[in-house]
Amino acid sequence: MLFRQIVSYALLIGVLSGILITAVQHWRVIPIIQSAERFEQTTGTAHAHDHHAHEPEATVWKPAPGVERTGYTLLSNVLIAAGLALVLLPVLVARWAQRTPSSGICWRGLLWGFAGYVVFYVAPAIGLPPEIPGASAAPLEARQLWWLLSVLCSAAGLAWMAFGTNRWRWAGAGVLLAPHLIGAPKPPAAAFPEQTPEVAAQLAQLAGEFITATALANAALWVALGLGSVWAARRILSARY
Contact residues: another protein, CB under 8 A: 1-3, 6-7, 10, 21, 25, 29-30, 33, 49-52, 55, 60-63, 69, 72-73, 75-77, 79-80, 82-87, 89-91, 93-94, 97-102, 120-121, 124-125, 128-133, 137, 140, 143-144, 147, 214, 217-218, 234, 237-238, 240-241
Q: Which helix (H) or strand (E) holds 178?
A: helix 172-182
Q: Give min distance, CB of 166 to another protein, in A.
A: 24
Q: What Rg do the C-alpha atoms of the chain give, in angstroms?
A: 20
Q: Please tell me the total number of residues recorded for the chain in this structure.
A: 241
For residue 167, the minimal CB distance to another protein (Å) is: 29
Bin 44: left if φ > 0, else alpha if -120 < ψ < 50, else beta.
Answer: left
Q: CB of residue 132 vs another protein: minimum separation in angstroms?
A: 7
CB of 31 to another protein, least distance (A): 11
99 or 167: whose CB is closer to another protein? 99
- Choice between 145 and 171, CB closer to another protein: 145
For another protein, the closer CB: 38 or 240: 240
Nearest to 17 by CA among 78, 89, 58: 78
Least distance from another protein to the Cβ atom of residue 168, Å: 25
Residue number with CB closer to another protein (100 or 167):
100
CA distances from 212 to 97, 181, 206 (A): 38, 24, 10
| Residue 102 or 166 having the CB closest to another protein | 102
Using the minimum distance from each CB to another protein, give the nearer residue, 79 or 201.
Answer: 79
In a 10 Å sphere around its CB, with 0-12 CB exposed, 13-18 middle and 19+ buried, how is residue 43 labelled?
A: middle
CB distance 162 to 112 below 8 Å: no
| C-alpha to C-alpha distance for 170 and 196, rounded to whole angstroms | 48
In the bound complex, what is the minimum distance in angstroms from residue 102's beta carbon to another protein? 4
d(CA 49, CA 52): 9
Contacts for 4 with CB less than 8 Å, ≥ 6 apart: none
Return d(Cα 36, Cα 118) in angstroms, integer.
27
